[in-house]
Amino acid sequence: MIKAAIMGYGTVGSGVYEVITTNQKSIDKKVGQELRVQYVLDLREFPGDPVMDVLTHDFEDIINDDEVKIVAEVMGGLHPAYEFTRRCMEAGKSVCTSNKELVAEHGAELIRIAKEHQVNYLFEASVGGGIPIIRPLNSSLTADVILEISGILNGTTNYMLTKMSREGLNYDDVLKQAQEKGYAELHPEADVEGWDACRKIAILTSLASGNQVDFQDIYTEGITKLTTEDFVYAKKMRCAIKLLAVSRKVGDTYCAMVSPALIRKEHPLYMVNDVFNAVCVEGNMLGASMFYGSGAGKLPTASAVAGDMVDAARHLGKVITTFWNPEKLTLAPVSDMTHRFFVRMRSDAKDVKIFGDVEIVDADIPGEIGFLTPVMTEAEYAAKAKDLEIISMIRMEG
Ligand code: HSE
């Protein structure tokens, strides 16, 4: 029998417990022996919940039990998750996590510590919830050079943007609905300001490049400035507006960005709606591939954590190689990235021609004009837009 522990009995932690107990027989068969949850760590009490049989309030119970070989860290946040993860691995326990904050900040270091102690640090659930994307990048696609990763990596904002587009609702109303549904946090900045998607594309770019990509280096724009008028224009252009995270190979490095983007009907990400996530990966040999599914939520995320626990159980004493070195990758400047830009300006503006051969988009909105620029770099756009009164700008993808 292999003993396991779960640190944190919140949404994901209770999901992991549910996955393992519900699918116990099938999991045991796949591991080749019994995998049992011996401890669930949480400061709270859960009267009436069967978890009470294995609940502990003391981390030392887990660390001092040498028979515990696998620990799920689903507490979230940096501290004490970082310290607990380190101590578990130093004590010979593999750790499986959904904690993208911790993986983005300390991934390379924790992978190194795992290797030094002949255990594994696995983090499939940290990007795309239940969608397998970390393992494919780390094993199936290793013969390719990854040219581009583009994805809808945040379920909350995708739900909000889908609602704004379908129902013509404004930002504040959809945010309230997302909070009522339990998707958005009470303090939803991490989702709506794009920080969550930024951490996820940093993790994917680290795996694609094999070096540490600091999420703080990635240009990030959220969805807070989008208005109902933007969606009227988008419909005229037969486009959806999505919060897009992109990482593109440029020479020996990558250029990465998170921002709202206009996605044409023909693009595979156009149909990704509600809380669903999708990641398109382009390899130099493979060409395009797409990974799609439930990007957030209790059971999809728990399924990915529990899948990692099975993998860790199958690899006791063996290190699964993860291509992610601590040397920092200096990203290419965003100013060199090229796009078409959709721009809204006041209709008395005489300066549209400064952008060259623009395509006017008529959405019957009084007092303003909307147009698409030709392809240009971010730097060229910024130079032209510098002294103009721009109402809003959204990049066009592809
Ligand atoms: N807040 C995240 C989202 C949860 O909405 O996608 C999953 O990482």
pLDDT tier at 187, thresholds 50, 70, 90: confident
At residue 185, does pLDDT exceed 80?
A: no
pLDDT at residue number 184: 75
Query: Dihedrals φ, ψ of 381, to 5°?
Result: -60, -45
Long-range contacts made by residues 186-191, C-beta under 8 angstroms, separation at least 24? 188/156, 191/154, 191/156, 191/157
Please name the residue that has the structure tokens 């909070």: 179
| Cβ contacts of 385 within 8 Å, gap of 6 or more | 343, 393
Distance, CA of 45 to CA of 57 (rounded, Å): 9
Tokens of 134: 């970390």
295 lines ligand 1 (CB under 6 A): yes
pLDDT digits (tens, 9 = 90+) for 153-170: 999 999 999 999 999 999
pTM of the model: 0.97
pLDDT at residue number 351: 79
pLDDT at residue number 387: 87
Average pLDDT, the chain: 96
At residue 186, does pLDDT exceed 90?
A: no
pLDDT digits (tens, 9 = 90+) for 291-312: 999 998 899 999 999 999 999 9
Give the percent of the chain with pLDDT over 90: 94
Distance, CA of 278 to CA of 306 (rounded, Å): 21
297 lines ligand 1 (CB under 6 A): no
pLDDT digits (tens, 9 = 90+) for 81-110: 999 999 999 999 999 999 999 999 999 999
pLDDT digits (tens, 9 = 90+) for 107-117: 999 999 999 99
Residue nearest to atom 7 of ligand 1 (CA): 296
Listed range (117-126, 231-240, 351-360) with the worst mean pLDDT: 351-360
Mutate-to-test residue for ligand 1 from 123, 196, 243, highest number of ligand atoms within 8 A of CB: 196
pLDDT tier at 348, thresholds 50, 70, 90: confident
Assess whether 328 carries a catalytic annotation.
Answer: no
97 lines ligand 1 (CB under 6 A): no
260 lines ligand 1 (CB under 6 A): no
- What is the chain's Cα-based Rg? 23
Distance, CA of 156 to CA of 65 (rounded, Å): 38
Distance, CA of 244 to CA of 377 (rounded, Å): 18
Mutate-to-test residue for ligand 1 from 100, 152, 156, highest number of ligand atoms within 8 A of CB: 156
Distance, CA of 135 to CA of 308 (rounded, Å): 10
CA 156 to centroid of ligand 1, rounded, Å: 6
CA 162 to centroid of ligand 1, rounded, Å: 15
Among the atoms of ligand 1, which is closest to the Cα of residue 200? 8
| Range 342-347 average pLDDT | 92
Distance, CA of 220 to CA of 116 (rounded, Å): 34
108 lines ligand 1 (CB under 6 A): no
Strands 368-372, 338-346: pairing kind: antiparallel
| Sheet (strand 35-41) strand order | 55-56, 35-41, 2-7, 68-73, 94-97, 121-122
151 lines ligand 1 (CB under 6 A): no
pLDDT tier at 350, thresholds 50, 70, 90: confident
**Measured torsion, CA atoms of residues 347, 353, 358, 359, in degrees rounded to the nearest 10:** 30
Catalytic entry in 93, 163, 200, 242: 200
Whether the bond between 50 and the residue before it is cis, its omega within 30 degrees of 0, is: no
| Range 23-46 average pLDDT | 98
283 lines ligand 1 (CB under 6 A): no
Distance, CA of 15 to CA of 9 (rounded, Å): 8
Mutate-to-test residue for ligand 1 from 154, 163, 193, 243, highest number of ligand atoms within 8 A of CB: 154
Among the atoms of ligand 1, which is closest to the Cα of residue 183? 5
